[in-house]
Structure 1
Amino acid sequence: MAGSNRKERRAAAKKDAKSSAKSSGTEFQPSTEIDEAGVDFLLKHPDRSGPKGKTLFELAEERQRELNKGNPAKANLDEDNTPPGERPFNDEDPIGPFGNAILYSVSLATLHLTLDVVVYSQYREDVIWSEILQRAGKVLPIFFVVVYLLRVEISMRFPTIRNLFFLVVSIAAGCYMIYSGNVNGYFYIMKTAPPIGALWVWSVVEMNLYYALVSVVAVVGYLWWNKFEAF
């Protein structure tokens, strides 16, 4: 009995709420129509005139300057403290020509060793590691000197001449590799292919992209013109 009375009271309360909402005109009425003000709001262009006041970056910069006034030691961190004549630690080439010479010479000597093993395997010869390591050790200081001389500051000042030099070297090395592989005997190829191949790869890596593409096109054209076979 009490439960039914409670349900009746809830139903009556809902009816009273609906009737009061209708009488006051506050009941939400969904509609698909839009008035002229709404159309103007939707078609209004955003304001592209920029910020009217200070931006957050400017406010942060002002705040940082205020903090730096009370702490001069921290303010000096933003200044360039690199001594004259020395390279900054975050420069594009932090290791310098000497470091580049070590890095490139070791990489080229490793490439020379790899090509030596590949040539031996191609002609089904037994790999004599002592001779291969000895030859790689001999070319290591040569690569170091050449890379160092072409990485010093005076060489880097003339990028066009440097690119042209590597372009000539890469074309000559690539064409000679193709010629030697198609004309000379296997013993001669085993001796000359590793150093020339390493020189060819290095010269292509050192060039800018457009010069490298010209080098590749020239070598491929030489291969096609003479009807040689790639090996």
Structure 2
Amino acid sequence: MAEPNQPSNRKQRRAAARNDAKNNGSKFNSTTKLDQEGVEYLLAHPDRSGPKGKTLFQLAEERQAELNKGKAAKWTVGDSTPEGEVPFDDDPIGPFGNAILYSVSLSMLHFTLDVIVYSQYREEIVWSEILKRTGTALPIFLFVVYMLHTKTATRFPVLRNTFFFVASVTAGCYMVYSGNIHGYFFVMKTAPPIGTLWVWSVVEMQLPYALVSVLAVVGYLWWNGFEAF
């Protein structure tokens, strides 16, 4: 049974609660009017002065710097590498790895030029002799390429480019001269190694040196009236 003086349904209970709130002096009064403080708040300009504390990027950089403190001593940092970062290694396989890649490629080039020279003079290709010469050239290429890819050799880029420039021009001009003056048997023996040296020297040089060397050989060909073969 409902107690005396208590509302008997939901509507009456809600009305009684509102009356109690009014009688008890509730602080919340719903209204559609704005006071002066509310107007000033709405018209106030946003704060564009920037963050008052550290940003997430700054916190991340500080954390990364802490993590790199123990690694920075193990890395050789160049002039262009920020402190604490891993320097870029443009030669990840080292001089011996380069020597293997270059020597195999140069041996294949030597083999190809040997076959082309035989075909040019319409001689029967003696595969055993070609393979023997290719096998003999492989360890020579391996040793020479290794020596010219060590840190000592690459420390002097101008001297290194000059060396390959002289080798390229000499090999290219001699190959043009030999093909126009000497007999086919001499050309068959000398063209593959000289041609391989010429191509390798051009590949090793920086672009300006390589272009000048090729122009020098073309100029030698034109000046002497030789024919390309």
Please report the TM-score for the alignment, with normalisation by the length of structure 2: 0.67
Q: Indicate which of 195, 216, 225 corresponds to 2:214.
A: 216
Q: C-alpha separation between the residues in 2 aligned to 1:177 and 1:95?
A: 33
* 1:2-151 alignment, distance < 5 Å: 53=50, 59-64=55-60, 75=67, 79-80=71-72, 82=74, 91-151=89-149
Q: C-alpha separation between the residues in 2 aligned to 1:141 and 1:67?
A: 51
Give the structure 2 partner of residue 177 of structure 1: 175
Shift of 1:83: 6.5
Shift of 1:124: 1.2
Q: C-alpha separation between the residues in 1 aligned to 2:120 and 2:186?
A: 14
Q: Note if contact 2:103-2:141 (Cα within 8 Å) is conserved in structure 1.
A: yes
Q: Note if contact 2:75-2:87 (Cα within 8 Å) is conserved in structure 1.
A: no
Moved more, 149-158 or 194-203: 149-158
Runs of at least 5 residues in structure 1 that lack an aligned partner in the other structure: 1-50
Shift of 1:151: 0.8
Give the % identical residues: 62
Q: C-alpha separation between the residues in 1 aligned to 2:55 and 2:137?
A: 60
Runs of at least 5 residues in structure 2 that lack an aligned partner in the other structure: 1-47, 77-85
CA offsets 1:143-198 (integer angstroms, 9 cap, x no match):
11111111111111111111111110000000000000001111111110000000
Q: C-alpha separation between the residues in 2 aligned to 1:128 and 1:60?
A: 72
Give the structure 2 partner of residue 46 of structure 1: none
Taking structure 1 as reference, are residues 53 and 202 closer, same or farther at Cα in structure 2, changes over 3 Å only?
A: farther
Q: Note if contact 2:153-2:160 (Cα within 8 Å) is conserved in structure 1.
A: yes
**Secondary structure of the equivalent of 2:55?**
helix
Q: How many residues align?
A: 171
Shift of 1:52: 6.1
CA offsets 1:83-141 (integer angstroms, 9 cap, x no match):
77xxx895110111111111111110010001011111111112222111110110011
Shift of 1:79: 3.8
Q: C-alpha separation between the residues in 2 aligned to 1:222 and 1:68?
A: 59
Q: C-alpha separation between the residues in 1 aligned to 2:62 and 2:217?
A: 63
Give the structure 2 partner of residue 3 of structure 1: none
Letter in 1 for 2:125: V
* 1:152-191 alignment, distance < 5 Å: 152-191=150-189
Letter in 2 for 1:53: G
CA offsets 1:20-54 (integer angstroms, 9 cap, x no match):
xxxxxxxxxxxxxxxxxxxxxxxxxxxxxxx9636
Q: C-alpha separation between the residues in 2 aligned to 1:217 and 1:197?
A: 16
Q: Indicate which of 190, 202, 205 corresponds to 2:203.
A: 205
Higher helix share: 1
